[in-house]
Amino acid sequence: MSIESGMYVKFKGEAFLCLIVETSGAVIINPKRKTKVNVKNLVAMNCKPATHVSHENGEYMVTVTKVIVSFITNKIMKWLPGNGNRVAILAAAGLAD
């Protein structure tokens, strides 16, 4: 199985969300860290991928646990539960609070 953006992967025994896949490697993130690694060192996990959502001028990935990651900054968004952007992005992903 090929590794794609939005997939969950294992790297050195830890679970990560794959943000970007390029020929030079993949950018992966989890709550503890973000790193770029060789795709050959990743193992695809058999679970539902994150949902890709467009909102205003941004692109986001939304996990089933309602974690929102920006494609622009490659960072986890730390909006409060009532934040308008968070509410709209979760609704677009079918995960409204």
> In the predicted model, what is the mean pLDDT of residues 84-95?
96
The domain total for the chain is 2
Give me the pLDDT at residue 41, please. Answer: 95
For the segment 16-69, what is each residue's pLDDT rounded down to a tens digit?
999 999 988 999 999 889 999 999 999 999 999 999 999 999 999 999 999 999
- Whether the per-residue pLDDT at 1 is higher than 80: the answer is no
- The answer to whether residue 76 is domain-embedded is yes
- The answer to whether residue 83 is domain-embedded is yes
Give me the pLDDT at residue 69, please. Answer: 94
d(CA 55, CA 89): 7
Give me the pLDDT at residue 31, please. Answer: 85
- The answer to whether residue 31 is domain-embedded is yes
**Prediction pTM value:** 0.84
- The answer to whether residue 2 is domain-embedded is no
- The answer to whether residue 97 is domain-embedded is no
Give me the pLDDT at residue 24, please. Answer: 85
Give me the pLDDT at residue 50, please. Answer: 94
Where does the chain have alpha helices with state H? 84-92
pLDDT band at 96 (very low <50, low <70, confident <90, very high): confident
CB burial of residue 50 (10 Å; 0-12, 13-18, 19+): buried
**35 and 55 assigned to the same domain:** no
